[in-house]
Structure 1
Amino acid sequence: MRTFTKTLWGTSAVVLTLAGAASAEPIEVKVFISAMFEIGENSGDRAGEYQHWYERYWQDAAPQEVPGAIAPVHCNDEGVCGSVLGMGKVNAAASMQAILLNPAYDFSDAYYLITGVAGTPPSRGTIGDVVWASWLIDYDLGHRWAPEEGEPGEPVFMPRKGYEEYRVHELNPNLVAWGIELSSDVALKDSEEAQTYRMRYPDAAAQAAPSVKVGTHMTGDTFFHGPGLSDEAQYMAELYEADDYLVTEMEDNAIAQVINRLHGTDRIAAIRGSVNFDQGHPDETTLQHLDPAPGETAGGFAETVENIALVGAPLVDRIVADWEAWKDGVPAVVAD
């Protein structure tokens, strides 16, 4: 197979092409793990969203270049594959579609684990939490106006007709239940910096130690911030009759929409680790929180990206180990 060198995420790597791969037997994908960015190398330096997954599953895997995807795909011999899809809805969706349509892979029976970092409202979460998604909601696909142009105190968002099938996905409750059960005893990492930072917030949830939670992931390219927009995200969750808004991120609903068009959503799981609050504490403005002074950041990033893999890996490993029970669909009963 021909090889070439490509510069990716600041790294020069030898990448195997998939030219001619269509004539070979496609790789049977059992689980596909997606992350949105990596900071440097895939192993051995400061970890972004992908590194802990790479070190767990693909240390010996050759990178496979996929036309249209932003980064190579890695697969191990057990059918666990993964890739960095890129940040934002367009990047992530385009990469996911390119990978799904590539004939080198057989996604007929695949499960999907969408992963990454996120923000959380201090009233419901804290730094280091990992949240299983029960619902994925697109923060956009509607109408918005300035508060002073509407009724005082009323919401400034209205859904746009025609997007009903795109803007909300309820994930398979049975698969979510499996994820929660298998990660219920995971000991999450924490840091002194995050512990100190939490105390700036009066909310009991913000001050708590990291834990595994479940709720709505809100997908928006807009990095919305502040108590007003946080309240709006919760309003949207209630408007769509979903669970409470726990996570703000930029890709999940878009990725799910791409998968849904080809394979449905029954085999999609999503987890996000909270590395920031979606608003400042009572003694700072929203703009101050968006641009913190040196030493004023939340901390806990390294611990949170490790937590994401710690929480998600038990589900991946169970699916692969018990493949005959999972191949035809999510088993009906959560049991050890």
Structure 2
Amino acid sequence: MRNAARRLALVLPLCLPLAVTAFGSGANAAETAPIKVKVFVASMFEIGKNTGDRAGEFQHWYERYWKTSEPTPVKGALNPVHCDADGVCGSVLGMGKVNSSSSMQAILLDPRFDLSQAYFIISGVAGTPPARGTIGEVNWATWLVDYDLGHRWAPEEGEPGASTFMPRKGYEAYRLFHLNPDLVAWAMRLTADTPLKDSDAARAYRQRYPQEAARRAPFVGTGTHMTGDTFFHGPGMSEQAQYIAKLYGADDYVITEMEAAAVTLVIKRLHGDQRVMSLRGAVNYDQGNPTETTLQHLDPAPGQTAGGFAETVENIASVGARMTDHIVAHWADWREGVPAPGN
């Protein structure tokens, strides 16, 4: 008995650290379990701070979901990720295709976030052609088209009146994204009647344009979003964007922006694109009115810019939050995929 007790006394000190280590590993694993993200909101820029000053694309989202959250820095991303207790996360990715998509990829690859079942809302401001949209409107993308993948030449070097763009073979898999029609239908069903803000300055600015669409009050709509690193402008470039959209078989071009197709590509390669949404609010027309040149519209005199920016960024978050809150509140129905419309 004395020998057995002696052997036990020798073995116990060796076993205790192993037991503590094993227990500690389990606790740490629980503490570091990845965040199950239900909705990820991707904005492109903020003006100043995330709260308390002039709002950019992120501030209204931040104040709604993450005002009390702790930011999580991500290596390779331009800005940290914020998450709430319900699985709603978001970040400011940066402007332009490379900037935004590289940030998105860094976040997607960070093991602290489980985005395998997440819905993505790519959210920001944009331009719109006056024949199809208005200042302050909020628009869900049906298609995303990359404006830049092809060949271009100066108008004087081609046939008079002909297009100066030709698609290039090899880009077919990532120049065009048809976003999930059921998801778009849900977005419109849940958000079409969202009350939208407007401003006196925006109302006055719209009257410079003769098009009926340009004079409309803000509304929630759908259409093709055109992604281009070049801030294209003027009636000629607008016509070319519509030409490209139709050439690729997409809907009418209604929104010009700089990130959505690129961000969608990196999401698609890791998780598919069936849970991706692009949500944009129009803060400018993609061309001047008939009394001004394109250069005059690009470099307006003081007091001649379009109004409605503050109202538009608030409209975007109001519309997007309706979709976000519905998904989170009905997660059991949305976790495995988009429910059939009407359910």
Place the TM-score, normalised by the shorter chain, in its bin. Answer: over 0.9
Question: Given the alignment of the two structures, is residue 101 of structure 1 paired with residue 75 of structure 2, yes or no?
Answer: no
Paired with 1:241 and 1:205, the residues of 2 have a C-alpha distance of 23
Q: Deviations over 1:188-208 (max 9, x none)?
A: 100000000000000000011
Report how far residue 334 of structure 1 moved: 3.0
**Corresponding residue for 1:149?**
157
Cα distance in 1 between the residues matched to 2:286 and 2:130: 7
**Distance in 2 between the 1:282 and 1:154 partners?**
22
Q: Counterpart in 1 of 2:303?
A: 295
Q: Is the CA contact 2:145–2:224 (under 8 Å) kept in the aligned structure 1?
A: yes
Q: 2:142 aligns with which of 123, 131, 134?
A: 134
Contact kept in structure 2, 1:135 and 1:243, CA below 8 Å: yes
Q: What TM-score do the two structures reach when normalised by structure 1?
A: 0.93
| SS of residue paired to 1:203 | coil
| Pairing 1:247–2:247 present | no
Q: Distance in 1 between matches of 2:209 and 2:115?
A: 44
Length-normalised TM-score, structure 2: 0.91
Who is 1:65 aligned against?
Answer: 73
- The Cα shift of 1:23 comes to 7.8
After superposition, what is the alpha-carbon deviation per residue over 1:75-120, rounded to whole angstroms, capped at 9, x for unaligned?
A: 0000000000000000000000000000000011111000000000
Q: For residues 180-259 of structure 1, what are the structure 2 equivalents within 5 Å?
A: 180-259=188-267
Residues 325 and 331 in structure 1, CA contact (< 8 A), matched pair in contact too: yes
In 1, the alpha carbon distance for the partners of 2:314 and 2:177 equals: 27
- Structure with the larger strand share: 1
Checking the alignment, whether the CA contact within 8 Å between 1:21 and 1:103 is kept in structure 2 is no
Gaps of 5+ in 2: 1-27
In the alignment, which residue of structure 1 is the partner of 2:15? none
Matches within 5 A, 1:297-316: 297-316=305-324
The DSSP-based 3-state class of the residue aligned with 1:189 is coil
Aligned-partner residue type, residue 47 of structure 1: A
Partner Cα separation in structure 2 for residue 21 and residue 247 of structure 1: 45
In 2, Cα distance between equivalents of 1:210 and 1:159: 34
C-alpha deviations, 1:214-234, integer Å up to 9, x for none?
000000000000000000000
Rounded Cα–Cα distance in structure 2 between residues aligned with 1:130 and 1:334: 22
1:168 is matched with 176
The CA deviation at 1:73 is 0.3
Aligned residues: 316
Q: CA RMSD in A?
A: 1.2
Gap change, CA 1:158 and 1:318, over 3 Å in 2: same
Q: Cα distance, 1:21 vs. partner?
A: 9.1
Which one has a larger percent helix, Structure 1 or Structure 2?
2
In structure 2, what is the equivalent of residue 10 of structure 1?
none
Separation (CA, whole Å) in 2 of partners of 1:21 and 1:298 = 52
Equivalent AA in structure 2 for residue 243 of structure 1: D
Q: Tell which structure's C-alpha radius of gyration is larger.
A: 2
